[in-house]
């Protein structure tokens, strides 16, 4: 048990953990450089590793990624097992094109489908159950994306959500609130919802930009019917 709230993750600890991270395959390193150069947001490598670990731990066969950009997270998750199939949702056509190229070079394209459009629309056409859902899209839509994901996820399945601590601003707002991104306030509200969700056993860990992890513990029974 830590003896004070900031006892673990300070600059030295964060740097140490980063240095300890095993090196990645050349294609992933190339994607990291490309994304940094082009200003395309992709998952942190430690988050990629966590995604792959959880896919393996859950024995996931069907994975849904909401917000896929150039396919970096999808490659990590597809590497979690030979039978893993990943459904990627991405609204940006150029990023989908780039993702296809990288996924092909990674040798996993035949196990990954990339669907175009707004996630909330596309999700309506998906057939449950999924074993694992990774949410990494527009933060303003997280609540609705989570609600919808829970209808697609099996009980015992895992939800992973990126950026919940948003550049550190969620827990530690800048002195001048004008400098705070809109996402920080949105995520503060969302994090309460996520942490107290009655269908989830959830936790936010200080990995990457703040990673939400949860297991769906029960179906939702509503007065509209269900269970979902």
Question: Can you tell me the distance from the alpha carbon of 9 to that of 29, in angstroms, rounded to the nearest whole number?
Answer: 25
| Other CB atoms within 10 A of residue 143 CB | 14
Q: Does 89 bind ligand SAM (CB under 6 A)?
A: yes
DSSP for residue 207: S
The answer to the question of residue 54 lying near ligand SAM (CB under 6 A) is no
State in angstroms the smallest separation of the CB of 71 from ligand SAM. 7
Q: Binding residues for ligand SAM, how many (CB under 6 A)?
A: 20
Q: What stretches of 70-132 show up as alpha helix (H) in DSSP?
A: 72-78, 93-105, 119-122
- Torsions phi, psi for 58 (to 5 deg): -80, -20
227 binds ligand SAM (CB under 6 A): no
The residue sitting closest to ligand SAM, measured at its beta carbon, is 73
- 24 scored as a contact of ligand SAM (CB under 6 A): no
Shorter beta-carbon distance to ligand SAM: residue 98 or 204: 98
Give 136's contacts (C-beta < 8 A, 6+ positions apart).
43, 65, 66, 67, 68, 73, 161, 162, 163
Smallest distance from ligand SAM to CB 175, Å: 27
168 binds ligand SAM (CB under 6 A): no
End-to-end CA distance of the chain: 37
If one asks whether residue 90 binds ligand SAM (CB under 6 A), the answer comes out as: yes
3 by Cβ neighbours in 10 Å (0-12 / 13-18 / 19+) ranks as exposed
Choices 54-62, 69-77, 193-201, 207-215 (CB under 6 A): range interacting with ligand SAM? 69-77
Per-residue contact flags (x/-) with ligand SAM for residues 93 to 132, judged by CB under 6 A: --x----------------------xx-------------
Would you tell me which residues interact with ligand SAM (CB under 6 A)?
A: 41-43, 65, 67-69, 72-73, 89-92, 95, 118-119, 136-138, 141
């Amino acid at each position: 048990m830590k003896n004070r709230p900031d006892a673990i993750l300070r600059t030295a600890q964060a740097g140490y953990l980063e240095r300890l991270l095993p090196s990645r395959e050349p294609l992933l390193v190339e994607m990291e450089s490309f994304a940094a150069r082009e200003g395309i947001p992709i998952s942190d490598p430690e988050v990629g590793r966590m995604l792959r670990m959880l896919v393996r731990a859950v024995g996931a066969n069907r994975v849904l990624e909401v917000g896929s950009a150039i396919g970096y997270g999808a490659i990590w998750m597809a590497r979690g097992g030979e039978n893993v199939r990943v459904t990627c949702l991405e609204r940006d056509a150029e990023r989908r094109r780039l993702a296809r190229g990288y996924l092909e070079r990674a040798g996993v394209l035949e196990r990954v489908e990339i669907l175009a459009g707004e996630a909330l629309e596309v999700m309506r056409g998906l057939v449950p159950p999924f074993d694992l859902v990774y949410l990494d899209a527009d933060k303003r839509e997280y609540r609705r994306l989570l609600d919808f994901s829970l209808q697609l996820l099996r009980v015992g399945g895992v939800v992973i959500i990126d950026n919940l601590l948003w550049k550190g601003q969620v827990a530690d707002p800048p002195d001048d609130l004008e400098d705070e991104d809109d996402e920080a306030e949105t995520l503060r509200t969302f994090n309460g919802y996520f942490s107290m969700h009655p269908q989830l056993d959830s936790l936010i860990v200080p990995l990457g930009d703040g990673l939400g992890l949860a297991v769906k513990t029960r179906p939702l029974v509503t007065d509209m019917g269900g269970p979902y």
